[in-house]
Amino acid sequence: MVTMQREAGYGREQRSEQRSELGEGGEFDLIRRMLAERAAAASGLVRVGPGDDAAVLGDGTVLSVDMAVEDVHFRRSWLEPEEIGYRSAMAALSDLAAMAAEPVGVLAAIALRAEDRDGAIAIVRGIEEATQRCGAALLGGDVTRSPHGFVIDIAVIGRTDAPITRAGAVPGDRLWVTGELGGAAAAVHAWRQGGQPDEEARVRFARPSARVHEARWLAERCALHALIDLSDGLAGDASHVAAASGVRVVIDIDALPIARAAVAIAGGNAGEARALALTGGEDYELLFAAPAGEVEPHVAEFAQRFGSAITALGEIATGDGVWTRTADGRQQRLAAHGYQHFEES
Amino acid sequence: MVTMQREAGYGREQRSEQRSELGEGGEFDLIRRMLAERAAAASGLVRVGPGDDAAVLGDGTVLSVDMAVEDVHFRRSWLEPEEIGYRSAMAALSDLAAMAAEPVGVLAAIALRAEDRDGAIAIVRGIEEATQRCGAALLGGDVTRSPHGFVIDIAVIGRTDAPITRAGAVPGDRLWVTGELGGAAAAVHAWRQGGQPDEEARVRFARPSARVHEARWLAERCALHALIDLSDGLAGDASHVAAASGVRVVIDIDALPIARAAVAIAGGNAGEARALALTGGEDYELLFAAPAGEVEPHVAEFAQRFGSAITALGEIATGDGVWTRTADGRQQRLAAHGYQHFEES
């Protein structure tokens, strides 16, 4: 789905390389803004226009699309075809999780070369598996020839009576995150170094879980003020919440739930592990803000039910931007690291 | 949207060349069938699964996706970027016309190279214009980098209380078609010969009209038994109606409304002009079947209102396949020309 800043991040040190080689292209933010503006003009029809994770129609229908391009979002040498399909579908379904919407259906458009037909069949199987895991149905799609590699576009439809957007966080809210961060980035880091990721890292990249069930479970129990899925990386997605809500997002740096795989790939360098957790994309965990006391009573049951933690990550404050906070209370703006600027105007 | 047989056709004589160079790839029918079967398994949820032009959910929501790939569906030397966007959106919106659904919204996913950014902005403008013309809203999308040319996937959502599918034609029905056929194919024919199409042909390829208003107007006035849009070409799409309805589709060859541009490009060869009208894809006209007397009273008003004719093209009979009928009543099966077989099993 259109976001106002969208760039795949797999660790800060590789950002410039990614731009030219791997990544969704920060240089296209102008087009993304244009799409978002057009959608905003349709606001009589939509309750939540793009700029958020998905469009919500007046009747509660939630829609999003997510395109995965070979050698931009994945490399064939990294993934089995079934995994390519699985993660493409999960990336799109995660946009429904980000609105606490109930998944209904998926349409898959696939472009492929003639010689990749068997791979495409496996891709459809992967899409189907991800779709079923999220309680949705594969409703159809389009299959066409590509002169080059795979292109997979997943359109998802869901329903919600009460979409939770990025825009409702208020100062005083607590900030929460599900699961662990940096695992998918650790896998990409390993591949890019010419190595192989360990199994945990590989699974986190190849078979991410869209937190659709978790998001609805939380939304049924807690008055969530703002919700987003972590597709661009914590720093980037937190900046979307900050911008949409008009608040400062404060992240307690010591609270970061760093994936073991990210710690391992960082080889004992704590700063590097933190960077992977802060900026690594495609973990598809949930980041959310809620008044103090709303989420706390449900942390234990969440862990038991979903086998995954919810971590108190920080707070929402007055101001703007995304700031890290150390144990001694010192805050540092993440904007200085370059996550929030537009490439072009 | 998935159809059981899908190949771009621009005149019979070029079919083998198209396979390798331009065309959606008949070799992928196995994957299309797989997607259609998966969707059929979701039939508790959907009223009309793929195999038809769009999926219809139980609440009347209609969904479809249509992917356009550079050098497969269009060439950059043929079209302005705005036209690339316009026709991509119209192709998808035509799937809503094919169900007599009311268009609601469009989501656009676009992959592009960094140097094509200005072109992509024009593509979005073209998508927006097509969307507005059909009474829908541009709801958002996704923008990402492509290592090669443009890839545009359009997801459309619409509504209908009474979808009209390909499956309801019965023997005795009359067969009708809107507009004129072969115009888009004439343009492609000219380009492929190294020339330039005349303006009429060019417009028919570059700026087709999805017949969304026409389809709803007809559906409100006539008891249509079956309806499809002509994306694959008359012969191919008529074969979808024949297969889905379990009937024979009989086309009066002298009744074919051949576009002037197709006659012109055929240079006086009547057989060639007919072939363009029979097999040329992407005219996006409507083909429909209705009991005798249902459509006839509305032909004149349709022409006046929409500036386009409805032509009585033939009839539905018992049997199977698509047959042409000459003035002396002789019928010839179009299957013999190879439109209906699957490339692979």
**pLDDT per residue as tens digits for the range A293-318:** 999 999 999 999 999 999 999 999 99
| Average pLDDT per block of 10 residues along chain B, 345 residues long | 42 34 67 79 64 83 95 93 97 96 96 93 96 94 92 96 93 98 94 92 96 98 97 93 95 97 92 93 96 98 97 98 96 62 26
Cβ within 8 Å, pair A28-B147:
no
Task: Give pLDDT, residue A338.
Answer: 36
Q: Which residue of B has its CA nearest to A52?
A: B140
List CB contacts (< 8 A) between B153 and chain A: 65, 67, 109, 142, 151, 153, 155
Alpha helices by DSSP H, listed for B13-75, are 15-21, 29-41
Beta-carbon neighbour count of residue B213 at 10 Å? Answer: 17
CA–CA distance from B140 to each of A101, A345, B89 (Å)?
Answer: 17, 20, 13
pLDDT one-digit tens code per residue, A64-76 = 999 999 999 999 9
pLDDT one-digit tens code per residue, A137-158 = 999 899 999 999 999 999 999 9
**Mean pLDDT, to the nearest integer, of A102-112?**
95
Task: Give pLDDT, residue B179.
Answer: 97
Rounded to an integer, what distance in angstroms lies between the CA atom of residue B63 and that of residue B74? 24
List CB contacts (< 8 A) between A145 and chain B: 23-25, 28, 69, 72
Per-residue pLDDT for A30 more than 70? yes
Query: Which residues neighbour B11 within 8 Å (Cβ) at sequence distance 6 or greater?
Result: B185, B188, B189, B272, B275, B276, B279, B280
Q: Identify which of B169, B180, B152 has the alpha carbon closest to the alpha carbon of residue B317.
A: B169
CA–CA distance from B218 to each of B60, B64, B93, B163 (Å)?
Answer: 19, 21, 17, 13
**Rama region for A252: left / alpha / beta (φ>0; ψ in -120 to 50; rest):** beta
Average pLDDT, chain A: 87
Task: Give pLDDT, residue A336.
Answer: 39
CA–CA distance from B210 to each of A229, B139, B251 (Å)?
Answer: 36, 19, 23
Per the listing, tokens 């209370």 go with A329
List CB contacts (< 8 A) between A69 and chain B: 111, 144-147, 151
Per the listing, tokens 């994936």 go with A259
Instruction: Answer yes or no: are the C-beta atoms of A235 and A278 closer than 8 Å.
Output: yes
Alpha helices by DSSP H, listed for B143-282, are 183-192, 199-206, 212-221, 234-245, 260-265, 270-279
Residue type, B137: A
pTM for the model: 0.89
Shortest Cα distance from B286 to chain A (angstroms)? 20
Nearest-CB residue to B142 (from A2, A71, A139): A2
Rounded to a whole number, what is the distance in angstroms from the first to the last CA of chain B?
20
Rounded to a whole number of angstroms, the CA Rg of chain B reads 19
Instruction: Answer yes or no: are the C-beta atoms of B248 and B269 closer than 8 Å.
Output: no
Q: Which residue has the higher pLDDT, B308 or A16?
A: B308
Task: Give pLDDT, residue B23.
Answer: 58
Upper half-sphere CA count for residue B295 (Cβ side, 13 Å): 29
List CB contacts (< 8 A) between B139 and chain A: 39, 42, 45-46, 49-50, 55, 57, 63
Instruction: Answer yes or no: are the C-beta atoms of A134 and A51 closer than 8 Å.
Output: no
Instruction: Answer yes or no: are the C-beta atoms of A224 and A289 closer than 8 Å.
Output: yes
**Within the 80-139 window of chain A, which residues sit less than 8 Å (CB to CB) from chain B?**
104-105, 107-112, 114, 117, 120-121, 124, 128, 137-139
Task: Give pLDDT, residue B1.
Answer: 66
DSSP bridge partners of A103: A158
Task: Give pLDDT, residue A5.
Answer: 35
By the 10 Å C-beta count (0-12 exposed, 13-18 middle, 19+ buried), B329 is classed as exposed
Residue type, B206: A
Rounded to an integer, what distance in angstroms lies between the CA atom of residue B144 and that of residue B133? 26
Q: What is the SS3 assignment for B106?
A: strand
For B152, the token pair is 């545009």
CA–CA distance from B341 to each of A164, B29, B136, B230, B321 (Å)?
Answer: 49, 10, 36, 18, 11
Rounded to an integer, what distance in angstroms lies between the CA atom of residue A47 and that of residue A314? 29
Length in residues, chain A: 345
Q: Identify which of B73, B78, B92, B95 has the alpha carbon closest to the alpha carbon of residue B153.
A: B92
Q: What is the SS3 assignment for B291?
A: coil
Give the pLDDT band (50/70/90) at residue A272: very high
By the 10 Å C-beta count (0-12 exposed, 13-18 middle, 19+ buried), A79 is classed as buried
